[in-house]
């Protein structure tokens, strides 16, 4: 079985590309078969690569995200993906509003999957400095480990 996972933030140039990259790396590490993508609830950056500070933070973490391109969430995402992970509460609320009736995709906050960090947002680093992007990378890496481990256990059950 392939688990299909979508990560969603506002612009799809900072947090969700990092979350997708961290999750892909962790899925590969533990042998979890996963299809992944990321998207933004906003469309201002569609077609653009990730923010150069996000590319640099991922590179410091050993992952290349420079090939990624931003896109906006679309109705078909609620059919295509099993799990849609929002990076913060505003984006989760927007996803709930966009979700077509009858969609079976599960919607949740990314850090809800990290024991002890339930309800926390992954803070938006867009108006911050390089250090903020390293915090984002650390947060999404922690979430990726918890999430991939959870999906792997579910697959094994």
Cβ-based nearer residue to ligand 4NP, 11 or 139: 11
Q: Does 14 bind ligand 4NP (CB under 6 A)?
A: yes
> What does the chain come to in residues?
157
Part of the chain binding ligand 4NP (CB under 6 A), chosen from 7-15, 55-63, 108-116, 148-156: 7-15
- Neighbouring residues of 145: CB distance < 8 A, sequence distance ≥ 6: 26
Q: Does 44 bind ligand 4NP (CB under 6 A)?
A: yes
Evaluated on CA atoms 76, 82, 88, 89, the torsion sign reads positive
How far, in Å, CA of 136 to CA of 43, rounded?
A: 21
Of 79, 66, 64, 71, the closest CA to residue 37 belongs to 71
Q: Does 13 bind ligand 4NP (CB under 6 A)?
A: yes
Decide if 9 is catalytic: yes
Order of strands across the sheet that contains 34-40: 34-40, 3-9, 83-86, 106-109
Cβ-based nearer residue to ligand 4NP, 86 or 147: 86
Decide if 14 is catalytic: no
Q: Does 39 bind ligand 4NP (CB under 6 A)?
A: no
By CB under 6 A, name the binding residues for ligand 4NP. Answer: 9-15, 44, 124, 126
Which positions are catalytic? 9, 15, 124
């Amino acid at each position: 079985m392939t688990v299909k996972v979508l990560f969603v933030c506002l612009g799809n140039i900072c947090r969700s590309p990092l979350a997708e990259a961290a999750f892909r790396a962790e899925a590969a590490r533990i042998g979890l078969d996963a299809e992944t993508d990321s998207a933004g609830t906003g469309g201002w950056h569609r077609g653009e690569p990730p923010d150069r500070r996000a590319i640099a933070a991922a590179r410091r973490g050993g992952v290349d995200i420079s090939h990624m391109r931003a896109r906006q969430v679309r109705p078909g995402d609620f059919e295509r993906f099993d799990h849609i992970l929002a990076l913060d509460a505003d984006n989760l609320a927007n996803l709930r509003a966009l979700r077509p009736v009858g969609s079976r995709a599960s919607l949740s906050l990314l850090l809800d999957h990290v024991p002890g960090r339930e309800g926390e947002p992954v803070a938006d680093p867009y108006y911050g400095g390089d250090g903020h992007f390293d915090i984002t990378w650390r947060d999404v890496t922690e979430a990726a480990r918890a999430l991939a481990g959870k999906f792997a256990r579910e697959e094994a059950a």
